Amino acid sequence: MRSGWLLRDGDVVCALEMTDTFGERTKGLIGREGCEGALHLPGVRAVHTAGMRFPLDVAFLSGDLVVVRIVRLPPWRMALPRRGVRSVLQTEAGALERWGVQVADQLDIREVR
């Protein structure tokens, strides 16, 4: 996995992990006790929380990283795909609200090298 930053309007929102492989995308945050920042899953359009130890906030993103939809998922739930979604952002429940991330926000990702 790669590390980086999630930005909105040029300001850092949170630390970000970015998946590179199918295995990383499939696992997501399953098995973790929590999440300090967020996890970006490119190519993912639907999310489940089977096996999760904590509820998630999930932001569904367009190809140009505009927030299309935000849902809160308790463990053992599923959010179905939505038209126009090209990736998802997962974090602990309540984090997106604390960070002020809303539908229609334009996000940006900066990789740490």
Q: Report the CATH number at residue 74.
A: 2.60.120.1140
pLDDT of res. 113? 79
Could you tell me if 98 and 72 are in contact, meaning their C-beta atoms sit under 8 angstroms apart?
Answer: no
**What torsion do the CA atoms of 97, 33, 17, 88 make, to the nearest 10 degrees?**
-50
- pLDDT band at 52, cuts 50/70/90? confident
Q: Which residues contact 42 (CB under 8 A, 6 or more apart)?
A: 18, 19, 25, 86, 87
pLDDT in tens, 53-103: 889 999 999 999 999 999 999 989 999 988 999 999 999 999 999 999 999
- CA atoms of 36 and 15, how far apart (whole Å): 8
Could you tell me if 16 and 109 are in contact, meaning their C-beta atoms sit under 8 angstroms apart?
Answer: yes
DSSP symbol at 103? T
The residue range of the domain holding 31 is 2-111
Count up the domains in the chain and report the number.
1
